[in-house]
Structure 1
Amino acid sequence: MTAITLDALDLAALLCSRVCHDVISPVGAIVNGLEVLEDEKDESMRGFAQDLIKKSARQASARLQFARLAFGAAGSAGAAIDTGDAEQVARGFIADDRTTLNWTAPRVLLPKNQVKLLLNLLVIATTAVPRGGVISVTLTVEGDIGTFLITAKGINARIPSAAPSLLAGAPESGTVDAHGIQPFYTGLIARAANMTVDLSIEGDTVTISAKPKAA
């Protein structure tokens, strides 16, 4: 595999496409609900539309808050991020009827890129259990350095086929599209944070670990 480099414009465009993909569904549902309220006189249907709008608005807000920390600047260069804030946006991002999030971590300030890496690894964990399951996050901290362990357990658990090569910055296809930009970006963040990422699977459990590179 040969490592590839995206120029800044392509990286920005692909990340924007990813964020739009994540929010277009709930935003579209809000629009549909508003159209029902405009045209429908039946009170039960209007109640259904109002519930849809509320649920979709919460989902869109949660996804945008998550994207702000996981993909955005989230403060100036060298800034630290509260892991409590990371937990809050992670719970909002994963809030559904199929997946349970267990979060075991001290509430501390960690360097921005480490927290961004943790959140992006969480995204990969959700794709590892497409039918839902239990995702467990364990964070240990020594000084200002975090070590992450994430497990995703569920039916048909799998390591996404392209994830390892994308994390390594060397996709087998030789290109990166909007579908693959998230794991590719995760690899960029890992290298910026001077951390290594490992993925493994045993039975119905995928394990993702990240730790500082050996000196």
Structure 2
Amino acid sequence: MSTSDGNAAEAPIMLDGLDLAALVASRVCHDVISPVGAIVNGLEILEDEKDEGMRGFAFDLIKKSAAQASARLQFCRIAFGAAGSAAAMLDLGDAEQVARGFVEDQKTKLTWEANRQLLPKNMVKLLLNLVLVATTTIPRGGVIAVSASGEGEATEFRLSSTGPQARVPANVLLLLAGQAPEDRIDAHVIQPFYTGLVARAANMTVTIEVEVEGETIVTIARPGAAAETVETLTV
């Protein structure tokens, strides 16, 4: 059965370019501030601590946090940044590499079955942003499986998120469709809203399916008319 939120039929919210840039920048800073802060803490320990065990802990913390900060910046460069000219083509292999670095941790694993190919920039940006949306559907961790079918601009993306208590977060469908509670967008909700903007720019339609029998959320992006609504299906 297919249902769509009635508010999604309204005209999408339009953000001023400066406001959009500021909110996306806030989101990027949010992603990198934690590992950078951990690096600072590690350096402070090295400066003050004489115990070799604590100094070893500090080195490990700095090394892990620096790698995490680098991975997040590389991901954000493609998912949110320009990454080339307006007509640039991006490699799905590069998308896989940065997605693995950003997503994988002790709770969440990523499987990738999208063959390497060059695709229009906005299609690859959309896929990476849908990976981020997928992480929000499994708050207790799990597995995100990414696959692609077709070639070139006819490529279709499918992301299956499986984990305990999988669910579609409140307001995500509205945000993907360009709507927001009380018609207000802030840094906390800019990422799914931005994902909807990229979907429309890539001329792709996003659908979210909820599998009742399992704990799986399936997100599909299909080429077609730019999506003014985002549907949720129960299968």
TM-score past 0.5 threshold: yes
> 1:107-146 to 2 correspondence within 5 Å?
107-146=116-155
Is residue 159–residue 200 contact of structure 1 (8 Å, CA) maintained in 2?
no
Query: What is the one-letter code of the residue matched to 1:149?
Result: R
| Corresponding position: 1:209 with 2:220 | yes
Cα offset for 1:172?
Answer: 2.6
Q: What are the ranges of 5 or more consecutive residues in structure 2 without an aligned counterpart? A: 1-6, 227-235
Listed one character per residue, the Cα deviations across residues 91-111 of structure 1 (whole Å, up to 9, x for unaligned) are 000121111110001110000
Paired position in structure 2 for 1:67:
76
Is residue 205–residue 225 contact of structure 2 (8 Å, CA) maintained in 1?
no
Q: 2: distance between equivalents of 1:140 and 1:37?
A: 50
Q: What are the ranges of 5 or more consecutive residues in structure 1 without an aligned counterpart? A: none
Query: What is the one-letter code of the residue matched to 2:219?
Result: I
What is the TM-score with the length of structure 1 in the denominator? 0.97
Q: 1: distance between equivalents of 2:104 and 2:195?
A: 22
Q: 2: distance between equivalents of 1:175 and 1:160?
A: 17
Is residue 118–residue 152 contact of structure 2 (8 Å, CA) maintained in 1?
no
* Runs of 4+ that moved beyond 4 A: none
Query: What is the one-letter code of the residue matched to 1:119?
Result: L
Pick closer, same or farther for the CA change 1:20–1:214 going to 2, 3 Å: closer
Paired position in structure 1 for 2:106:
97
Q: 2: distance between equivalents of 1:142 and 1:55?
A: 37
Paired position in structure 1 for 2:173:
164
Q: 2: distance between equivalents of 1:196 and 1:150?
A: 14
Cα offset for 1:60?
Answer: 0.3
Paired position in structure 2 for 1:21:
30
Cα offset for 1:142?
Answer: 2.5
Paired position in structure 1 for 2:62:
53
Listed one character per residue, the Cα deviations across residues 68-104 of structure 1 (whole Å, up to 9, x for unaligned) are 0000001001100011000000000012111111000
Over the matched positions of the two proteins, sequence identity in percent amounts to: 66
For the residue of structure 2 that corresponds to 1:60, the secondary structure is helix
Listed one character per residue, the Cα deviations across residues 112-140 of structure 1 (whole Å, up to 9, x for unaligned) are 00000000000000011111101000011
Cα offset for 1:214?
Answer: 5.3
Once superposed, what is the RMSD of the aligned Cα atoms?
A: 1.1
For the residue of structure 1 that corresponds to 2:183, the secondary structure is coil
Cα offset for 1:213?
Answer: 1.3
